[in-house]
Amino acid sequence: MAARAYWKGQIRLALVSIPVEIYSATKSGAAVSFRQIHEPSGKPVKYEKIVPGIGAIDHDDIVKGFELSKGNYVLLDEEEIEAVKLESKRTLELVQFVDTDAIDVLYYTKPYYVVPADELAEEAYIILREALKRTKKVGLGQLSMRGQEQLVALRPCGRGLVLEVLRYADEVNKAANYFRDVGNDKPDADLLDLAETLIAKKSGAFDASDYHNHYIDALKRVIAKKAKAKGKRVLEDVEEPPETGRGSNVIDLMAALKASVDGKKKAPAAEEEKTPARKAPAKKAPARKRA
């Protein structure tokens, strides 16, 4: 079945309009879904829409309301909400262009593929794509999707364009509130060199297929065991990495970094801690006196 367009409209750059369709670039990964179960009966728990003093109600009788004051609501149906006039409803106007690395990663939320709506739109689409590549810029604009006006960025991606939904400024917590107590001292030069060597050693091209969700596999394994356990608890033993302990000094950090660069599993300092202490040599028996 062909993918369904998430949004249809046009990208506008000054007097140029490009009809496009937008498709979700991501999908839900592997997951294990659980139901809430009433343990005594073994039956699934269901939820009902309840109005105090009235009881269960029909879903068709529900509308959206905005609370003006306590207990006082303004009611709106779907048609009234859809009728809200926004120019960005079917048009993405590119109002600004910034460098590709100018937007902090904290602002990105979700990517979408943008494709030309027809052959007539393809020429202008390709020109915009190549212009963004050559200038190394990202286009910014606002777009109404699913009842909200989103801040978005448009960037080239291979032969196409990718639209990325961004968070607004008031949706991002200020980093200073969390990092103000972190020291700003310059690190030891030797330690920094070792850390850079370790990073270089582990550097490579990113390939998402190299990574796998091991938790889902483990969870499915536990479910399979539980199904055969006839009600008995099933707990798997998990090997946790050894704790390095807090308050390790610079010597321990130096040893750990060196061991990491050399490819050893444990730092020498940690190995020394686990090495049993040598027994003191036994005292020699006193020499026998000659008769």
Question: Structure tokens of 153?
Answer: 């960025």
SS3 letters for 130-159?
A: HHHHHHCEEEEEEEEECCEEEEEEEEEECC
pLDDT in tens, the chain (291 residues): 457 888 899 999 988 899 999 999 988 877 888 888 888 888 999 888 889 888 888 888 888 898 988 889 998 888 887 777 665 678 899 999 999 999 999 999 999 999 999 999 999 999 999 999 999 999 999 988 777 889 999 999 999 999 999 999 999 998 888 988 888 888 888 888 888 888 898 888 888 888 877 878 888 888 888 788 777 777 766 666 666 555 545 558 778 878 888 876 444 444 444 444 444 445 444 455 443
For the chain, the farthest-separated pair of C-alpha atoms sits apart, in whole angstroms, at: 122
Distance CA 154, CA 100 (A): 10
Could you tell me the pTM of the whole model? 0.68
Half-sphere exposure (Cβ direction) of 283: Cα atoms closer than 13 Å: 3
CB distance 94 to 140 below 8 Å: yes
Q: Would you give the DSSP letter of residue 105?
A: G
